Amino acid sequence: MKFEIELDRLLRENLTETAYKFWEVAKEKVIPTNVWQELASSSKKYHNKEGGFVPTIAEHTCEMLRGAIKCMSMFGITRKTSECDLLIMGVLLHDAFKRGVDGTNRWTAYDHDKLIADTVQDSSAFLRFLSPEQHKILIDVLRFHSGKWSTDADKTFDFSKLHPYVLFVHSLDMLSSRNCLKLIIGDP
């Protein structure tokens, strides 16, 4: 639960008011409530920390969010802007359907990247705080957050054809799964 509280704090402090209000509704109505407490690796083969410990999706997402927020100045992004909303939504939603759209899969839904990307693609609600161009980038970030292993990536998959945020979020995911990111609760 403490990681869900930390997640909320990071969102409250960095999202625009419109995006945060949107998130509150989405969390309630679209995102499976159990997903945050599920393990980041259902098989426990990946995401191993010290002693083989596997974090929850809430902790994994918090780690990535902290990394994204700490480094977003490299893209000239400041907090509480639509560009910040775009980047945060990419990290926040990337594993939201990791146990399927209803959260009932016992194991990782191999196509969770496609499931969340298609859902976001079908939702015009994002246009309340993102431009149509930013919405497209968010869909790509979600669809290809597993890089060349993404469900919709073919043999010609190439990060250079996509927005740099796609590689950034994939890198954060890889770094977190290999225990290379540090989470400090309450760190501004």
The footprint of Fe ion (CB under 5 A) covers 95, 173
Nearer to Fe ion, 27 or 129 (CB): 27
Nearer to Fe ion, 85 or 113 (CB): 113
Count Cβ atoms below 10 Å from residue 32 Cβ, excluding itself: 18
Min dist CB 131 to Fe ion, Å, is 26
Q: How far is CA 7 from the centre of its chain?
A: 11
Task: Note whether 85 and 19 are within 8 A (CB).
Answer: yes
Which residue's entry shows tokens 């054809």?
Answer: 161
Q: Which residues on neighbouring strands pair with residue 39, listed in sequence order?
A: 56
Nearer to Fe ion, 119 or 129 (CB): 119
Nearer to Fe ion, 72 or 172 (CB): 172
Min dist CB 91 to Fe ion, Å, is 9
Cα(138)–Cα(142) distance, integer angstroms: 6
Cα(160)–Cα(14) distance, integer angstroms: 28
Min dist CB 172 to Fe ion, Å, is 8
Task: Note whether 159 and 147 are within 8 A (CB).
Answer: yes
